Amino acid sequence: MSLLKTLRLTDCRKVGVGVKRPEDVAVARDGTVWISDQASACARVRPDGGIDRVGRAGGAPNGINLDLEGRVLIANFGGPEDGVGPLQRLDPRTGEVTTLCAALNGRALFGANYPLVDSRGRVWCSHSTFGPVSAAFDGLDDGSIFRYDGDGQATVLAEGLKFANGIAFDAAEKNLFVCQTSACDVVRLPILADGSLGAPERYGPQLGLSHHEVQDRRPLTPALRSELGATDGCGFDQDGNLWVTLVMSNKVVAITPAGTVVTMLSDPDGVLMRSPTNVSWGGPDMRDLYIGSVVSDYVVHVRSPVPGLPLAAQR
């Protein structure tokens, strides 16, 4: 039986104050908390709550995760410095940043979004669009999923996604779940025996109003903004609920195994949680929940009612 219980803003606190564009958080097995940081590569949170900046990635470090050796994988969404968005890896001991994949089929990556490591150490990554970003909300459905297997080669596994964003595996690594930001939904793609992906199918309902559905109702009222369904990041808890951030409505919801949607945390006025982008669990009991943002200079921490599903590097 699920123990889902709506979280309260009063139970949330700021972590890593001073970080720049903290889109994502990754928590190591030993409890070390990493935050993506546009002013470096990643920021490591000290026990006193301050941050130590490590490395230099350029562009805009976006989604992050740890590989099986404890290195930090970075999906870089590009930026004014270099104009491209590769898949990178940060060595936390030396601060060295290595580019793992900068192009797919000869085309330079523009918007690598979120990396995820499976139990075999392979890196799965979403690529949102070849841009411009605005076109992705006007029908440019060129999001993709690729996999880097550690041999210097990347394989495109899915194309035609509607601004592919955060991704997650289920507990058995039988399916890959992808947030389609412009479609305001999550799709599930089966992972086939040969490592390829099957056709996507919507998982749960559309999670709110789309960009096109509110064009004739601008400027948006706060109430209407709270109905926007643009999905950003996602992750499973140990009861099989898929938590999803709704970046435009300042909301985090959970899709239960039965397909119902539960609002877990809402901050309509953006008092504390503004433009939430990713959910990440860690800590000894996997109940320390961190919520990233693309506009705040901190991430939000709150105790989760259900433990998160451990990622490969946390097992």
pLDDT over threshold 50, residue 1: no
The answer to whether residue 251 is domain-embedded is: yes
Question: In the block, which residue shows the tokens 């898949």?
Answer: 87
Q: What is the CATH number of the domain that holds 282?
A: 2.120.10.30
The answer to whether the CB of 184 falls within 8 A of the CB of 229 is: yes
Look at residue 26 in the predicted model and tell me its pLDDT. 98
The answer to whether residue 3 is domain-embedded is: no
Look at residue 296 in the predicted model and tell me its pLDDT. 98
**What digits encode the pLDDT tens for the residues 265-309?**
999 999 999 999 999 999 999 999 999 999 999 999 999 999 999
Look at residue 271 in the predicted model and tell me its pLDDT. 95
The answer to whether residue 307 is domain-embedded is: yes
Q: Of 235, 244, 239, which Cα lies nearest the Cα of 181?
A: 244
The answer to whether residue 241 is domain-embedded is: yes
The answer to whether residue 154 is domain-embedded is: yes
Pick the range with the lowest mean pLDDT from 35-39, 46-50, 252-256.
46-50
Question: In the block, which residue shows the tokens 């926007």?
Answer: 228
User: Stretch 109-128: mean pLDDT, rounded?
Assistant: 96
User: Stretch 44-52: mean pLDDT, rounded?
Assistant: 94
The number of distinct structural domains making up the chain is 1
Mean residue pLDDT of the chain comes to 95
Per-residue pLDDT band at 2 (split at 50, 70, 90) = low
| Count of CA atoms in the C-beta half-sphere (13 A) of 260 | 6
**What digits encode the pLDDT tens for the residues 179-205?**
999 999 999 999 999 999 999 999 999
CA distance to 32, 208, 218, per residue, from 214 (Å): 41, 11, 7
Look at residue 301 in the predicted model and tell me its pLDDT. 98
The answer to whether residue 1 is domain-embedded is: no
Terminal CA-to-CA distance of the chain, rounded, Å?
23
User: Stretch 95-102: mean pLDDT, rounded?
Assistant: 97
- Domain limits for position 106: 9-314
The answer to whether residue 48 is domain-embedded is: yes
Percent of the chain surpassing pLDDT 70: 98
The answer to whether residue 296 is domain-embedded is: yes
User: Stretch 18-44: mean pLDDT, rounded?
Assistant: 98
Q: What is the Cα–Cα distance from 117 to 136, expressed in whole angstroms?
A: 26
**What digits encode the pLDDT tens for the residues 139-193?**
889 999 999 998 878 999 999 999 999 999 999 999 999 999 999 999 999 999 9
Percent of the chain surpassing pLDDT 90: 87
Look at residue 81 in the predicted model and tell me its pLDDT. 66
> Who's near 309: CB < 8 A, 6+ residues apart?
171, 235, 236, 237, 238, 281, 286
